[in-house]
Amino acid sequence: MPVVLVAEELSPAGLSVLSGDFEVRHVDGADRSALLPALADVDAVIVRSATKIDAEALAAAPRLKVVARAGIGLDNVDVPAATTRGVMVVNAPLSNIVSAAEHAIALLLAVARRVPAADAALQNGEWKRSKYTGVELTEKVVGVVGLGRIGQLVAHRLAAFGVQLVAYDPYIAPARAAQMGVRLVDLDELLRISDMITIHLPKTPETLGLIGADELARTKKGVIIVNAARGGLVDEQALADAIRSGQVGGAGVDVFVKEPATSSPLFGLENVVVTPHLGASTNEAQEKAGLAVARSVRLALQGEFVPDA
């Protein structure tokens, strides 16, 4: 029976697709010393974002035929190394886009209206109405960096708040953006005119560190920044410094350079809202991701055509 190694939590619906015809084993993929030996005789491995399938992991898996990523970003999988070894890489690009978009908006609103800080104060018996005065979204300029699937969902939803939308994405046609009521601009202009900036880029050599100290210095004073895409797209230390100086008014951050993140320059700062990589953590997204990758693994190991998930 082909062996499928599940290296992170997979939805029950996904597991049921595999039951019967495959031996399903489990390992904590974030624990390297457990992962590498567990890969020795498996035909497929299913991961989320905490498991690194790099050249070393691939070399430890001589029978491997499929790496399945139960989500979108493939930055934790060395796709060229897998391809060189003849290992297929599949993901679930549509599974969690709505959840990720909604989470970015949740962070934006939480920062704009200071919800977590006001909640913590009141739970502590402090009724401080003027301390937690916020800002409206209506009529603000919102800059979307990366107008792909998630960026478009965010733009569409934010349009209902009456914001002015601009986006930076050199790979999107201006006409397509215009159809969505979004004006494409270059990064400089986006930084200069946006009251709020939300980032929806993949992590690539080009995008890593795209928003650093220089870029933050060119933003509108008091800008709110949301990063629910990948750690490192916005430099964490530079963002913390810019918040301390008042250049940036607040930030919502779901993703960190090093995860799990147990410390960060952003922790403990006034008007920073952080979540532990929860963008895709909804029942709906996890069910869709689990089902999509389990079906792809099943088809691939049975030698059948694997359509886009």
Taking CB within 5 to 8 Å according to partner kind, which of ligand MLT, ligand NAD, none is near residue 48? ligand MLT
In the 8-state DSSP scheme, what is residue 6? E
CB-wise, 73 or 151, nearer to ligand MLT?
A: 73
Residues 182-201 that bind ligand NAD (CB under 6 A): 200-201
| Cα 303-306-308 angle, rounded to 5 deg | 170
Least distance to ligand NAD, CB of residue 210, Å: 7
Choose which of 48, 277, 288, 298 interacts with ligand NAD (CB under 6 A): 277
Is residue 168 near ligand NAD by the rule CB under 6 A? yes
Q: Which is nearer to ligand NAD, 134 or 209 (CB)?
A: 209
Among 2, 14, 29, 73, binds ligand MLT (CB under 6 A): 73
Would you state the structure tokens that stand for residue 52, as one six-digit string?
Answer: 């690194």
Distance CA 172, CA 235 (A): 25
Widest distance between CA atoms in the chain = 65
C-alpha span between 3 and 237 (Å, rounded): 43
Q: Which is nearer to ligand NAD, 203 or 298 (CB)?
A: 203
In 22-96, alpha helices (H): 32-38, 55-59, 79-84
* Single residue of 7, 48, 165, 291 touching ligand MLT by CB under 6 A: 48
- 292: tokens are 């999509």
For the bound state, the minimum distance from the C-beta of residue 19 to ligand MLT, rounded and expressed in Å, comes to 23
Site string for ligand NAD, 205-244 (x = CB under 6 A): -xx--------------------xxx--------------
β-pairing, 44-47 vs 3-6, is parallel
Give yes or no for a contact between 224 and 252, defined as CB atoms under 8 angstroms apart. Answer: yes
- Please, which residues have CB within 8 angstroms of residue 126's CB and are 6 or more apart in sequence? none
Active site residue 277: yes
**Helices 115-123 and 97-112 sit at what angle, rounded to 10 degrees?**
60
The tokens 């996904």 sit on which residue?
14
Quick one: which segment of 128-136, 167-175, 213-221, 257-265 binds ligand NAD (CB under 6 A)? 167-175
Contact region for ligand NAD (CB under 6 A) — 39-47, 120-128, 149-157, 299-307?
149-157
Show the tokens assigned to 242.
């810019």
Contact call for residue 280 and ligand MLT (CB under 6 A): yes
Q: Which does 51 bind (CB under 5 to 8 A by kind): ligand NAD, ligand MLT, none?
A: none
What positions carry a catalytic annotation? 230, 259, 277
